[in-house]
Homo-oligomer: A and B are copies of this chain.
Amino acid sequence: MSTENLQEQHPAHSLAFLEDAEHGIRVPVTEIALDPSPNGEANTPLRVYRTSGPGSDPVVGLPAYRAAWIAERADTEAYEGRGRNLLDDGRSALRRGAASAEWKGAKPVPLRAKPGRRVTQMHYARAGVVTPEMRFVALRENCDVELVRSELAAGRAIIPSNINHPESEPMIIGKAFLVKINANIGNSAVTSSIAEEVDKLQWATKWGADTVMDLSTGDDIHTTREWIVRNSPVPIGTVPIYQALEKVNGDASALTWEVFRDTVIEQCEQGVDYMTIHAGVLLRYVPLTAERVTGIVSRGGSIMAGWCLAHHEENFLYTHFDELCEIFAQYDVAFSLGDGLRPGSTADANDAAQFAELDTLAELTKRAWKYDVQVMVEGPGHIPFHLVRENIERQQELCDGAPFYTLGPLVTDVAPGYDHITSAIGATEIARYGTAMLCYVTPKEHLGLPNKDDVKTGVITYKIAAHAADLAKGHPGANERDDALSKARFEFRWRDQFSLSLDPATAEAFHDETLPAEPAKTAHFCSMCGPKFCSMRISQDIRNEFGSKSAQEAIAAGMAEKSAEFLAQGGKVYLPETISVGAPQ
Contacts and interface: CB of A to CB of B under 8 A. Distances in A.
Interface stretch (A11-19, A147-155, A330-338, A498-506): A498-506
Interface string A348-364: 00000000000000000
A451 interface: yes
A252 B581 contact: yes
B188 A538 contact: no
A302 B533 CA distance: 10
Contact of A538 (B305, B346, B443): B305
Contact residues on A (Cβ < 8 Å of other chain), bracket: 35 or more
A300 to B, nearest CB: 8
A566 interface: yes
Given A250-B533, A533-B299, A581-B307, A543 B190 contact: no
Given A385-B468, A448-B514, A302 B539 contact: yes
A284 B559 contact: yes
B309 A545 contact: yes
A539 B295 contact: yes
A513 interface: yes
A435 to B, nearest CB: 13
A448 B510 contact: yes
Interface in A459-508: 460-461, 463-465, 467-469, 471-474, 479, 481-483, 485-487, 489-490, 497-498, 500-503, 506-507
A461 B305 CA distance: 36
Complex copy number for this chain: 2
A309 B579 contact: yes
A384 interface: yes
Contact of A291 (B287, B460, B489, B552): B552
A165 B469 CA distance: 44
Given A296-B535, A347-B483, A415-B460, 10 more contacts: A284-B560, A293-B487, A294-B487, A344-B486, A385-B469, A412-B482, A416-B510, A418-B506, A425-B425, A449-B514
Interface of A: 188-191, 217-218, 245, 249-253, 282-284, 286-299, 301-303, 305-307, 309-310, 312-314, 344-347, 382, 384-386, 411-418, 420-422, 424-425, 428-429, 432, 443-444, 446-449, 451, 460-461, 463-465, 467-469, 471-474, 479, 481-483, 485-487, 489-490, 497-498, 500-503, 506-507, 509-511, 513-515, 526-533, 535-536, 538-543, 545-547, 549, 551-552, 555-556, 559-560, 562-563, 566, 572-575, 578-583
